[in-house]
Structure 1
């Protein structure tokens, strides 16, 4: 009860607020024994440098995430930002969120066991939303902390398409958590589930994957062939029942649909033409 771990830190420009909140609830700096990062997105790791300095605590992350944290520029131009406008303004915004580069003191791998802050937790790799994503498992309380594996945008009723970089891995990771039957599931962005809600949440996320793939196939059957932007806009409308702002699909939707197309092409369902159009394999 006297010691604690921080799992994810928010952005660099909100780190001071995190520290103030921790102190407000009695978590003085000497109580924080480690800072663990779920995956390499700036809204999860950006504040780690400031919080680690305040707590004088080590930062731990998967080896892939550690590289992303150390080099924000590489993260900025990483695959999930392929479709962004790489402008000076966007880079300035990204730096404010990601910080100036954070060095990890320990690299984490699948199956690692951590004895820290008076508890024992297991590290499991759960790629799908992002490569290098991990979850923490506390067997004593049957609690699992999954970061953004199951976001608000991944259930069937959400008004957000979701962000996936690897569809096959996403399915595998969701089923891994489902088979564990945790009693508590802590997702990113202040969302948690308990008991039967967890199974329902994961099954809903799996259904969302089926819905997106079905939408892609239906659209390509009607349209014959589409470029990525056209297809993503059509998927956005069909799955969410609304058009993207300005009829321009956001980057996360482009990345998600592209991940589906890659997965479906590997299974022989679709292919990309020399004109960079996508079509069904007939």
Structure 2
């Protein structure tokens, strides 16, 4: 397995989807003045050099959340933004990440890269500091794992209770007329195709029905963190039954 290889493809105007050996998804969004790299995956290669082969613009990194499959190789870059609430996640999983130079990023911040503006929206749940980037000019949402991919993991150490996560989802739903496609952190789970905004509404229903007791989960057979899972429409929600309210 070549852990140092990266693959990219142009998925939107001036937007590259990049994947590594684990099929983690991260995105290079290129503006007129600079570019944003949203997440850095967990490959072992020279990611900075690879990104340089795709653009000659200055590149700034924005981390969607601090899980290992979204933040490795981040130390190759000088300017990095991450919501500081997720420093606790780095500590929980004891990752060898140097974060002292990370710039805090929070709800309502605007990243103006020239001809394109990306708005930061905090969606705490999967982690305390999970963020998404809204590109309302092109009707795109870059979501990391904040609203999941094929499966939304809410059973991990550091996840907020489902009731708190539901508040985040409702907040994002109020902005749903501003995006049509959701580019998540594991696009391979959807055969490389972004999910429509309706996925968000299915996920909200799944969370609501678990909280109310209308849906009862079955043991989740994947990964090392246990949990239960339910399906609703396009969404699969994985959760810790001890962390609902």
- Return the TM-score normalized by structure 2: 0.66
Matches within 5 A, 1:41-80: 41-50=67-76, 52=77, 57-65=78-86, 67-68=87-88, 72=90, 74-76=91-93
Give the equivalent residue in structure 2 for 1:16.
45
Deviation at 1:117, TM superposition (A): 5.3
Q: Considering fraction of residues, name the structure with more helix.
A: 1
Answer yes or no: is the 8 Å Cα contact 1:127–1:166 preserved in 2: no
Matches within 5 A, 1:173-192: 173-180=168-175, 181=177, 182-190=179-187
Deviation at 1:214, TM superposition (A): 5.6
- Segments of structure 1 that go 5 or more residues without pairing to the other structure are 77-93, 155-159, 220-234, 264-282
Q: How far apart are the structure 2 equivalents of 1:251 and 1:186?
A: 25
Alpha carbons of structure 1 residues 40 and 252: separation in structure 2 relative to 1, 3 Å:
farther
Matches within 5 A, 1:108-147: 108-116=105-113, 118-147=115-144
Give the equivalent residue in structure 2 for 1:33.
59
- Equivalent residues, number: 195
Deviations 1:248-269 (A, max 9, x none): x942528722211xx0xxxxxx
Deviation at 1:15, TM superposition (A): 4.1
Q: How far apart are the structure 1 equivalents of 2:224 and 2:100?
A: 31
Root-mean-square deviation (Å)? 3.1
Deviations 1:62-117 (A, max 9, x none): 1212x347xx4x222xxxxxxxxxxxxxxxxx6xxx43423344211211122235
Alpha carbons of structure 1 residues 218 and 132: separation in structure 2 relative to 1, 3 Å:
closer
Is 2:198 aligned against 1:171? no
Deviation at 1:161, TM superposition (A): 7.5
Deviation at 1:9, TM superposition (A): 0.7
Answer yes or no: is the 8 Å Cα contact 1:39–1:147 preserved in 2: yes
Answer yes or no: is the 8 Å Cα contact 2:166–2:208 preserved in 1: no
Q: Considering fraction of residues, name the structure with more strand.
A: 2
Alpha carbons of structure 1 residues 61 and 117: separation in structure 2 relative to 1, 3 Å:
farther
Deviation at 1:19, TM superposition (A): 4.5
- What secondary structure is seen at the aligned counterpart in 2 of 1:202? helix
Q: In terms of Rg, which structure is larger?
A: 1
- Segments of structure 2 that go 5 or more residues without pairing to the other structure are 1-30, 229-238
Deviations 1:112-148 (A, max 9, x none): 1222355222111100111011111112112111111
Q: How far apart are the structure 1 equivalents of 2:165 and 2:184?
A: 15
Alpha carbons of structure 1 residues 258 and 250: separation in structure 2 relative to 1, 3 Å:
farther
2:206 corresponds to which of 205, 208, 228: 208
Give the equivalent residue in structure 2 for 1:253.
227
- Return the TM-score normalized by structure 1: 0.58
